[in-house]
Structure 1
């Protein structure tokens, strides 16, 4: 029977046709509900039940965790071939792709800013995406989108076969909204995170002392003073604005957001307005739990899905104390970041008031209680030096600071272990794991010139 004839018959006997349609719809709803009950986790540790981690090496992570890029912040054209290689044989990425389902959360773009707590947010999105079998927009090479160049659509790896859109983009980039919208669906949620500029710049300087040329020059000049104080005494004598590697050397958050980070220009007010219109949520690191509650509302996440541990944290001895003079100099040198942060701090509290402050406070308390329970279940030790961590959970180490990690509890079921390892999994290992799951191959290294 042709489609035209079928349509004619349904019109003639529209009552019968309507009953058949309702019956089929009802049957599909019952089947869909059954499948959701089969696949949805009912307790926090069962979200990985369809793909349990059989042992601590059970992630589909290619190669040795020691094989990591030596300098995560540098011109992408100059980075060396230092990506993980090899793959776990028992993880079948093709089967994973066959079973993929569209995520129930809306598509997400997360602008991962430097030294603001963004690695912790990215880990949350990685976990959400893996559990929901989302399609990630990954960099074509390594784990950053051509940084420090501005984002371009061509930096994104191809869609996996059989899929029509990306669900999550959350790797490091320098913002270009127009280019991003060529990649992500029009209904994508845009989020980012900012941190108080004094702490941000101190952390950026500490972490990238041997990578940002201006910081390196100051370090070479410093004798009995800290390199940070030497730099801030006369930053212009070290900072060359024409050096691409100096992008993070001044107003690093403004730089990541694609703004003119060197000086105030007349377009700045309009640029801030455009950013406010683009981002549905700008999280604030100093109000992290409040930010997570608002994020959860945007992405339809449960409390257990918002659980976190703070990732990519430095050893306390690598944190430089800031006296009043140093603070004043950081503010002066990073005046645009101060403006950016103050602007979006006000926007953040406006959104919090729209959400309801009493409601927000209640849900923050619930989030903290839930997160504390999960941390106690998962974490045996925190602040663990890298030498005491196994490769899978050892963070990448900067040349200038020590990055601490977490030791997972040993008395866990396989399902619990799978959840807990992912909770503490550093960026590079998790990125490589998800990339292999999605494409069945390791991340590509940058071509050498």
Structure 2
């Protein structure tokens, strides 16, 4: 990447993230127990077995740290500090509006450039909305690396918001939410199971919701891009990159 590349990522509260993974990937079938049961049992015996990256500290794994088997908090703390050296901004999902405002500021964009729809929300039968404090603590203790990651960058984000200005942030968040609502009402006819929608709005999973556009907005580029599933939009971005490479290098991308 060019030397002036800006690196951004997103971190989610560990118990909410693990709940999503446990239910979306149906890990209860593997462990033959509910998430609540899994969170409360002694899982140290699992550290002597082979298991996939989603089962423990999955967010660290996505950021290049294999912390599936480690119990060493110092190891995780050092790795988080290394991650901090890479990224210009680490956004937090439960402070998403504030994170987006800071992203806008970092990139010298306008609020209209960062309007969003909430994507890939799971259908209610595939989520557990009410986890007890004890269950949440059990999840965070198991995902100790992700917990250290989240706590570190949430604290850092709060400091950045303070530096940005609390009242200024409140104004910008309110305006951003108004713009999001305005665009949603302009584009979307209804929210429904994504699998029932046509491409490029159709997700391969039956567990998530998607957006059906209003008939008069089906050819509107902004509405199309806002409602497209991630895989469709990534394909669109890749095609743009390939075209740039062909024009710049005079050859097809490898």
The match for 1:248 is 54
The match for 1:68 is none
Q: Which has the larger radius of gyration?
A: 1
The match for 1:217 is 30
Q: Helix, strand or coil for the counterpart of 2:122?
A: coil
TM-score (structure 2 length as normaliser)? 0.85
The match for 2:64 is 258
The match for 2:36 is 229
The one of 171, 178, 181 aligned to 1:362: 171
The match for 1:429 is 232
Instruction: Kindly indicate which of the two structures has a greater share of residues assigned to helix.
Output: 2
Residues in 2 aligned to 1:327 and 1:403: alpha-carbon distance in whole angstroms: 23
The match for 1:185 is 2
Is 1:346 the counterpart of 2:155? The answer is: yes
CA contact (8 A) 2:195 2:203 kept: no
Residue 413 of structure 1 deviates from its aligned partner by 7.8
The match for 1:201 is 18
The total of aligned residue pairs comes to 239
Going from structure 1 to structure 2, the CA distance change for 1:186 and 1:378 (only over 3 Å counts) comes to same
Going from structure 1 to structure 2, the CA distance change for 1:439 and 1:408 (only over 3 Å counts) comes to same
Residue 386 of structure 1 deviates from its aligned partner by 3.1
Is 1:406 the counterpart of 2:211? The answer is: yes
RMSD over equivalenced CA pairs, Å: 2.2
Q: Helix, strand or coil for the counterpart of 1:189?
A: coil
Q: Helix, strand or coil for the counterpart of 2:7?
A: strand
Residue 391 of structure 1 deviates from its aligned partner by 2.6
TM-score (structure 1 length as normaliser)? 0.50
Residues in 2 aligned to 1:411 and 1:363: alpha-carbon distance in whole angstroms: 30
Could you give the per-residue CA deviations for residues 326-377 of structure 1, whole angstroms, max 9, x where no partner exists? Answer: 2221121112211111111110011112222221111111111111111110
Written as runs of structure 1 = structure 2, the 5 A alignment for 1:131-142 is: none
Could you give the per-residue CA deviations for residues 222-256 of structure 1, whole angstroms, max 9, x where no partner exists? Answer: 4xxx2x2343324345566544xx11210111222
Q: Which has the higher contact order (CA 8 A, sep 6+)?
A: 1
Residues in 1 aligned to 2:239 and 2:5: alpha-carbon distance in whole angstroms: 24
Residues in 2 aligned to 1:271 and 1:392: alpha-carbon distance in whole angstroms: 38
Going from structure 1 to structure 2, the CA distance change for 1:236 and 1:308 (only over 3 Å counts) comes to same
Could you give the per-residue CA deviations for residues 122-151 of structure 1, whole angstroms, max 9, x where no partner exists? Answer: xxxxxxxxxxxxxxxxxxxxxxxxxxxxxx
Could you give the per-residue CA deviations for residues 256-293 of structure 1, whole angstroms, max 9, x where no partner exists? Answer: 22234232254433332222232111101111010000
CA contact (8 A) 2:140 2:147 kept: yes
Residue 188 of structure 1 deviates from its aligned partner by 1.1
Q: Helix, strand or coil for the counterpart of 1:352?
A: helix
Q: Structure 2 stretches of 5 or more lacking a match? A: 244-254
Going from structure 1 to structure 2, the CA distance change for 1:407 and 1:438 (only over 3 Å counts) comes to same
Residues in 2 aligned to 1:254 and 1:413: alpha-carbon distance in whole angstroms: 39
